[in-house]
Amino acid sequence: MQFDYVIVGGGSAGCVLANRLSAKTSCRVCLIEAGPSDDSLLVRVPAGIIALMRSRKRNWRYWSCPQAQLDGRPRYMPRGKTLGGSSSVNAMIYTRGHPRDYDHWAALGNAGWGWDDVLPVFKRSEDNTRGADAFHGVGGGLKVADLAYAHPASRAFVAACVEAGFPANHDFNAAVQEGVGLYQVTQAGGERSNVARGYLAPILDRTNLTVLTDTLAKRVLLDGKRAVGVECVSRGATRKLEAGTVIVSAGTFNSPQLLLLSGIGARAALEPHGIPQSHDLPGVGQNLQDHPDVLTVYHSRRHDTMSLGIGYLPQAVRDAWQYARTRQGPLTSNAAEAGGFIKSQPEADIPDLQLHLTAALLDNHGLNWRFAMGWGYSAHVCVLRPKSRGHVGLIDANPQSPPLIDPNFLADPDDTERLLRGLRIVRENILACNPLAPWRGSEVFPGADVRSDAELRAYLRAKVETIYHPVGTCAMGNGDRAVVDADLKVRGLDALYVVDASVMPTLIGGNTNAPTVMIAEKAADGMLGVHRSPREGDAPRRMPDA
């Protein structure tokens, strides 16, 4: 089977690339995805995220290795395993990060990735129900909408933040990021609008596009220093797909794994598994970054929050009936409706913490279902630009094995101190404010008796989790540890690209799905030789945050 492009991974980046590259009718494009189609009620109904967190069919259900700074706990690392990737299983929050994040990428030597360069790409990838303006676009593949439903506790959380002194913000992606409010989400008509639905579904009838699901890539095929295809397995049968260009878009964990399985990486990472080195690239799998997150959890005096308990059953039946008839109501919830971006200390230049509020009892990624049967609410705080760095490697040479994942959470003391300050802000300032009084019961985590810095640091070690934004393991740049250049071409190899969140050299200050879509849009432009010049006024710079 011969193609001009073979794209490995049908996630957010892969779906965008399949759309843009196959728009050129002379290009034969093949998209392969290890998981199944996204045609599932759990994917379409936003509240299906609760079940998708545990899905064996559409979630890789990865675990990290034991984390030294987290009392030796392995951490659950869910990722989407279906068309649309993690956009099919995530909380649908649409944020882009801060302009300085992208200017920092450019300052690291990645020409064309500054804020003025990427804002027009964000705008054309977006179809925002608020309409087009200086910061937003319409007509793009990524549907963006205001929440169809927000729990009263979510609105009370925003009011509590404002009472605590944080500014209200109606749009985190406009002139100023700092502040609190309700998030916009990637939904349309009360249903999840994942990237597969926005970019892939409308063009599945293109005769020059082949989509192979339930197909696992085993290795990239090289002829000397040129990629010439992909070896994959589907339903027990191995096949080789010949390609003029191979694009690896398998995600922050699976992209470096595939490169290593192909002999691309440091010799020390390959030899223990009997894999001959094809190309020396020591940065493959290094530079892993993720947002460490911790919860403050309260029991609720009111029995109107989300719950998995039998007492919620009558409400669940009403919610399901309302959703079936109108696509409205609590089943449209993304489970993290309210939040925002704040500073851990006043002298910070830009927000370094992000908040999310879930009107439910949460523990261990919501996997503690018995705990979730009660009534309560949970406030997240995460560090936006952690200094800790981890890595992704191999546990063996079997492509069907999970990768070795070591986020190295809280290895840098600065991450702990920022998270500690954020925990105190949420717990002592925001959650103590009057708007939440009708719900406020007893504190579950950290617990009323946990007060000193030493006790709270121990709590962090016992409870810190990821909030699902891993990046960086195939970083773009010019240094010795860079994996791809500014065009996202693998350094030292021909006809091989990596296009997904793994190419981010540093984490952005926000949720990572929209930036991943932007990255794929820019990459497709480069591969097709499209040179876009922003129209006058199309790329205004944001004013610095107050």
What digits encode the pLDDT tens for the residues 508-541? 999 999 999 999 999 999 999 987 655 433 444 4
pLDDT recorded at residue 366:
72
Measure the CA–CA gap between 484 and 540, rounded to whole angstroms: 28
CATH number, residue 277: 3.50.50.60
For residue 103, pLDDT over 90 is answered with yes
Find the mean pLDDT for residues 25-50.
96
Alpha-carbon distance values, 41 to 44, 60, 82, 191 (Å): 5, 19, 13, 10
Domain boundary among 463, 488, 503: 463
User: Do residue 109 and residue 255 come from a single domain?
Assistant: yes
Same structural domain, 316 and 263: no
Mean pLDDT of the 424-431 span: 98
**What does the alpha-carbon distance between residue 187 and residue 200 come to, in Å, rounded to a whole number?**
16
For the cut 90, the answer to whether the pLDDT of residue 470 exceeds it is yes
Q: Are residues 9 and 156 in the same domain?
A: no
In a domain, 56, yes or no: yes
463, 480, 507 - which closes a domain: 463
Catalytic residue (one of 356, 365, 469, 531): 469
**Domain termination residue (choose one: 446, 463, 480):** 463
Q: Find the mean pLDDT for residues 157-173.
A: 98
Asked if pLDDT for residue 492 goes beyond 60, the answer is yes
- Average pLDDT of span 139-162: 97
* Count of CB atoms situated within 10 Å of the CB of 39: 12
Q: Is 448 domain-assigned?
A: yes
* Residue 207 is assigned to a structural domain of this protein: yes
Same-domain status, 342 and 313? yes
Same domain, 233 and 363: no
Domain shared by 276 and 306, yes or no: no
Q: What is the torsional sign of CA 510, 511, 514, 520?
A: positive
In a domain, 397, yes or no: no
Q: Does pLDDT of 449 surpass 80? A: yes
Residues 125 and 245 in one domain: yes
Handedness of CA 205, 125, 127, 253 (dihedral sign): positive
pLDDT, mean of residues 496-510: 98
Task: Answer whether residue 390 is part of any domain.
Answer: no
391 within some domain: no
- Cβ distance 504 to 251 under 8 Å? no
Instruction: Give the C-alpha separation, 260 to 77, whole Å.
Output: 20
> What value does the mean pLDDT take over residues 127-153?
97
36 contacts: CB under 8 Å, gap ≥ 6: 57, 58, 82, 83, 213, 214
SS3 392: strand
165-174, 220-229, 534-543: least confidently modelled range: 534-543
Statement to judge: residues 364 and 252 lie in one domain: no
Which has the closest alpha carbon to 328: 460, 173, 150, 203? Answer: 150
The β-bridge relationship of strands 279-280 and 264-265 is: parallel
Is 187 domain-assigned? no
Residue 542 confidence (pLDDT): 42
CA dihedral 207, 209, 213, 218 (to 10 degrees): 140
Residue type, 297: V
Q: 420 with 332, same domain?
A: yes
Q: Which CATH number do you get for residue 314?
A: 3.30.410.40
Residues of the chain with pLDDT > 70, as a percent, come to 97
**Does 419 reside within a domain?**
yes
DSSP 185: B
The pLDDT of residue 544 is 40
Supply the mean pLDDT for the chain: 95
**Are 98 and 171 in a shared domain?**
no
pLDDT for 302 beyond 70? yes
Residues 9 and 102 in one domain: yes
- In percent, the amount of the chain with pLDDT more than 90 equals 93
Domain span at 421: 148-182+292-383+411-463
At residue 523, the pLDDT reads 98
Residue 534's pLDDT is 52
**Contact by Cβ (8 Å): 407, 415:** no
469 assigned to active site: yes
Check residue 531 and give its pLDDT. 74
Q: How confident is the model at residue 299 (pLDDT cuts 50, 70, 90)?
A: very high
Residue 239: the pLDDT is 95
Q: Count structural domains, the chain.
A: 2
Are 258 and 213 part of one and the same domain?
Answer: yes
